[in-house]
Amino acid sequence: KAGVTQTPRYLIKTRGQQVTLSCSPISGHRSVSWYQQTPGQGLQFLFEYFSETQRNKGNFPGRFSGRQFSNSRSEMNVSTLELGDSALYLCASSPLSREVYEQYFGPGTRLTVT
């Protein structure tokens, strides 16, 4: 099976712009989660989607949004970019077993805001 893919891998944007990141989960996985990784804060949970519905949301401002399509692919959008949004954005998919919550991560999108 192909792993989780994320596009683009690298992105440079200017303050005030917006950006859209894409994630394709492992085939058959219906849950997609997004995380922001920075050196100072570690991994911080952004949101989780399941069957096109946002089920969980972390403590991020409304500038951060996402969606999931019927084929389970997901996008996240950040509007009005700030310097502090520079980070590695990781997507993870899960088969959503009822017993465990094991996640499979993509390689991430490195966003640099200048």
Residue with tokens 């401002």: 61
Question: Measured from the CB of residue 80, what is the shortest distance to another protein in angstroms?
Answer: 26
Q: Is 72 in the site for another protein (CB under 8 A)?
A: no
Q: What are 80's two structure tokens?
A: 């009005």
Which range of residues in 13-21, 63-71, 72-80, 101-109 is near another protein by CB under 8 A? 101-109
- Contact string (CB under 8 A) for another protein, positions 81-100, x = contact: ---------x-x------xx
Q: Is 107 in the site for another protein (CB under 8 A)?
A: yes
d(C-alpha 96, C-alpha 103), whole Å: 9
Going by C-alpha positions, the residue among 91, 81, 90 that lies closest to residue 112 is 81
Q: Is 8 in the site for another protein (CB under 8 A)?
A: no
Nearest to 76 by CA among 33, 25, 114, 20: 20
Task: Say whether residue 102 binds another protein (CB under 8 A).
Answer: yes
Q: For residue 17, which phi and psi values (nearest 5 degrees)?
A: -75, 175
Residues near another protein, by CB under 8 A: 4, 33, 35, 41-43, 45, 48, 50, 55-57, 90, 92, 99-108
